[in-house]
Structure 1
């Protein structure tokens, strides 16, 4: 590399991995307490749809998509009137509406006792979901709880509410029972790969559109949006808007968004599922939203009811008995969703299904294998440490032996990316873990991080943002996490949208060395041939959750860790292009986020050509039993 290229490279690396001077003892927590959030922050409730097909019957709303089986799209929405059928009118984007098809589905509704969580009226971040006055009115029964034939006799439901009672509501008080709207689910079938369609649900005066995934094995570049622990604050809304924009800009193939659990943060106040549906509609009505359940879908009296009723995944099409674990093929990727809050041992329904599904994966059709579940196995934050240890012990080896490339999680309200890791050791054959619990929910950010970073952690920051993953060919993926906001001390709702922000919680700063870095940009590279049994651990932390010394410096991104192939040469050359272009862009005042879509597309063409050439050479020597390893080269 020329001296100019080296100079630009070093300058870019310094820009991307800026560190700040922090207090040496970060174990001391300040006595500072955040003031309570105000309802006067200007944070809007997401309005109901007022564009009705038949105003006298009310409007449809909360429209969202999910991919079904091959050639299928699942459409869900809600109405308040049961006279509106569960029908969807759809037609090809290049066709006239006169040629439209009609698909029919089914509808359901439910009622459930509310549960009041303290975060509802006193959130760590954002605006309260309710105020004490309306909750007291809901719990007070003094206006009606009397014997109708003996007006002086108080009924068993009588309660004079002077203080909000948290927890599960009283079944004797109908005012504490939530009644859902009618939830419609209709599956569109016989859709063509790569085609764009328009559609309209019953009760709605609006039209939406979506594009089906391309046929498996030929779709590059292919872009996937990533998030988790979303909630419904202004930060959540900003992240949804970013995902919508980035997915709309992705070319040539925009796939879907993966949300690794904890959607609405309704936490038993079930009307918040409706407001979440309105917030997410601007994204999910046109981009399929693929989800798995988290603790906020099972806890605080949720018990999966709202989640399973509203967010139907393709579990039947993938041979699963439960909406909580499923799989699908889309373009060049096979996605598996697992449940952190169901049995995972070898004799469990979930484990046995996973074994069957992994055996069905055809890496010649879907070279990328991504798994998502909620609670992370690898987490160097102080929050939720080791909660999923039993699941890790049950399933880690199985996923490793099948060459899983990337594992997506949430739960911890921060962002962390690992090196390829297996059983606590950095291992080139292990998956890269992306912990994306930074969606922006009302509980705020988690700090501190463990003082001595484990050897397997590559990047960590307690702020909020979204990830974008673009699969460029069978071996190369470009990953970009971008920060949207930090938790602040004095900002309205404790939400700091300043580009140079740094998270502070109760007077304590984020103690990550990356706390002021606004993006994490990396090429994820894996060879075509996968042989996990041949991999050895490069650095280890044992036992998995104990402190470890600081890891050795990472190899240069241009230094090969194995014999260089044609694909590696292309990756090395394309990385140099990205660094040179980005360095020049910084010099003329452009941001990395502005430059990345331009330079990556050009560089990826080189990668794609070489990787396909290598695949052609190696394919005759492959056996179905051959496995692959994963490698991440940090920019």
Structure 2
């Protein structure tokens, strides 16, 4: 699942402006593994990241090698941190790996569109973040297991993840999924705790949240999704709670795409089975955008439902091209389906700017030779603003 004022995932369609430029991608580079800083000791905070909790709180998470207090000092001044909150410390074991001490602290209430500064101990490094706005416009950024690599990834993303909320959901590579231990997503659930309780979910693998007029639903492709399952019942309940007068935009995130013209990952139960179970719910709720990953390439579909173009269906976008160990999925079926508006096998990321209650802009940016190049864009009118589609049914 990047940003300017905020970070997350979304997409949409209406008027389409597409730019296609041929590009020959260079060969992959060596894997990047980051170790702790040279001056770090066993109590130095590392892998700092933040995530939204409810309407006006922020969860701050970090790891130390040894046990330290889970206390955050914060305020609106970089020099004075007049508030402090203490949270929890945990760790986990997986086979012969033992994690560091995982700290989770939720701070707030916080004011919207405000810069806050925080630190973990007197004299320690001061971090900062800006809370999302209460109203439009708002921007989201979108992008798509050996246990020590979780630590390396945490260090790699800290400069961004400590300043912008990262709202995530699980993918297949996040599962330990070995016969010796049937419990999966051990590291994911311990390290990336999302605000699932706030939306009435009983699992960190699926939840929802609202920000500045956008209701975002994060579904779990790798937990039970059939009718009657806990996730299915939760989704039905969550959709009923959506008030399109308060949150006119409705966006859903999954990992395994339901629509895909790439040869990679065709026919998987997490795609086909979940689509059979849940697509009707999203269509009746007039979901605007469904964002997926999994396939290591980019593809944007026109509004679609039940495999046919439908002006009241969601826009489906696969943006599984954020980077991976396996390279790009560069083989697409031919001819290109008429419901597929744009597709390209290049690494990149997406930006979703919700301008107002009716209008948004989506753009995909190819990461070309370390430069971000916009290669696809589309303007979107949401379905709640469409008289032909705004009779909501759930």
2:163 is aligned to 286
CA pair 527-336 structure 1, distance change in 2 beyond 3 A: closer
- Describe the SS at the equivalent of 1:317: helix
**Alignment-derived partner of residue 100 in structure 1:** 82
The CA distance in 2 between the partners of 1:396 and 1:281, in whole Å, is 35
Match of 1:110 in 2: 92
More helix by percentage = 1
2:13 corresponds to: none
Which of these residues, 77, 85, 107, is aligned with residue 188 of structure 1? Answer: 107
Select the residue among 69, 78, 90 that pairs with 2:54. Answer: 69
Structure 2: distance between partners of 1:457 and 1:408: 14
Which residue of 1 is the match for residue 33 of structure 2? 45
TM superposition score normalised by structure 1: 0.55
SS of match in other structure, 1:420: strand
Deviations 1:243-296 (A, max 9, x none): xxxxxxxxxxxxxxxxxxxxxxxx1x2010000000010110000000000111
1:522 aligns with 378
- 1:110-149 equivalences in 2 (<5 Å): 110-113=92-95
Q: Which residue of 1 aligns with 2:117?
A: 198
1:384-399 equivalences under 5 Å are 384-387=265-268, 388-399=271-282
Whole-angstrom CA distance in 1 between matches of 2:248 and 2:232: 22
Higher relative contact order (CA 8 A, sep 6+): 2
1:313 and 2:191 equivalent? no
- The question of 1:91 aligning with 2:75 is answered yes
Partner residue, 1:584: none
2:207 maps to which residue? 326
Aligned equivalents of 2:381, 2:155: Cα separation in 1: 38
* Counterparts of 2:55 and 2:154, CA distance in 1: 26
- Aligned 8 A contact 2:142 2:351 in 1: yes
Counterpart-to-counterpart distance in 1, 2:22 and 2:366: 16
> Does residue 59 in structure 1 map to residue 44 in structure 2?
yes
Deviation at 1:442, TM superposition (A): 1.2
- Are the counterparts in 1 of residues 53 and 195 from structure 2 also a CA contact under 8 Å? yes
Structure 2 residue corresponding to 1:468, chosen from 343, 351, 355? 351
SS in 1 for 2:238: helix
Q: Which residue number corresponds to residue 354 of structure 1?
A: 235
Partner of 1:552: none
Matches within 5 A, 1:559-570: none
TM-superposition CA deviations, 1:107-145 (whole Å, max 9, x none): 1111112xxxxxxxxxxxxxxxxxxxxxxxxxxxxxxxx
Q: Aligned partners of 1:45, 1:521: CA distance in 2, in Å? A: 33
Aligned partner (choices 220, 227, 237) of residue 143 of structure 2: 227
Q: Match of 1:378? A: 259
Which residue of 2 is the match for residue 404 of structure 1? 287
Tell me the CA shift for residue 363 of structure 1: 1.1
| CA RMSD in angstroms, aligned pairs only | 2.6
For residues 574-622 of structure 1, the C-alpha deviation after alignment (integer angstroms, 9 at most, x for no partner) is: xxxxxxxxxxxxxxxxxxxxxxxxxxxxxxxxxxxxxxxxxxxxxxxxx
* Residue 527 (structure 1) shift: 5.5
Contact 2:363 2:374 in 1 (8 A): no
In structure 1, what is the Cα distance between the partners aligned to 2:374 and 2:165? 27
Q: Decide whether aligned partners of structure 1 residues 199 and 423 sit closer, same or farther in structure 2, where only a CA change above 3 A counts.
A: same
Partner SS state of residue 59, structure 2 = strand
Aligned to 1:612: none
User: Aligned ranges for residues 12-27 of structure 1 at < 5 Å?
Assistant: 16-18=19-21
Report the equivalent of 2:11: none
Residue 450 (structure 1) aligned to one of 318, 333, 346: 333
Asked if 1:419 is matched to 2:302, the reply is yes
Hey, what's the Cα distance between the residues in 1 that align with 2:317 and 2:170?
17
Alignment check: 8 A CA contact 1:51 1:205 kept = no
Distance 1:386 1:443, change over 3 A: same
Q: Whose radius of gyration is greater, 1 or 2?
A: 1
CA distance in structure 1 between the aligned counterparts of 2:119 and 2:214, rounded to whole angstroms: 29
Once the 2 structures are TM-superposed, how far is the Cα of residue 17 of structure 1 from its aligned partner? 2.8
Residue 521 of structure 1, CA deviation = 1.5
**Unmatched 5+ stretches in structure 1:** 1-12, 21-33, 114-176, 229-266, 486-496, 501-516, 536-624, 629-635
Contact 1:499 1:518 in 2 (8 A): no
- Alignment match, 2:7: none
**Is residue 2:130 matched to residue 1:211?**
yes
Please show how residues 468-547 of structure 1 align to structure 2 within 5 Å.
468-485=351-368, 497=369, 519-526=375-382, 528-530=384-386
SS of residue in 2 equivalent to 1:291: coil
1:429-448 map, 5 Å: 429-448=312-331
> Residue 339 of structure 1 corresponds to which residue in structure 2?
220
Distance 1:423 1:278 in 2: 42
What is residue 148 of structure 2 aligned with on the other side?
Answer: 271
Which protein is richer in strand relative to its size? 2
Q: TM-score, normalized by length of structure 2?
A: 0.87
2:152 match: secondary structure: helix
State the Cα distance separating 1:92 from its structure 2 match: 1.3
CA contact (8 A) 1:60 1:202 kept: no
Partners of 1:80 and 1:182 within 8 A in 2: yes
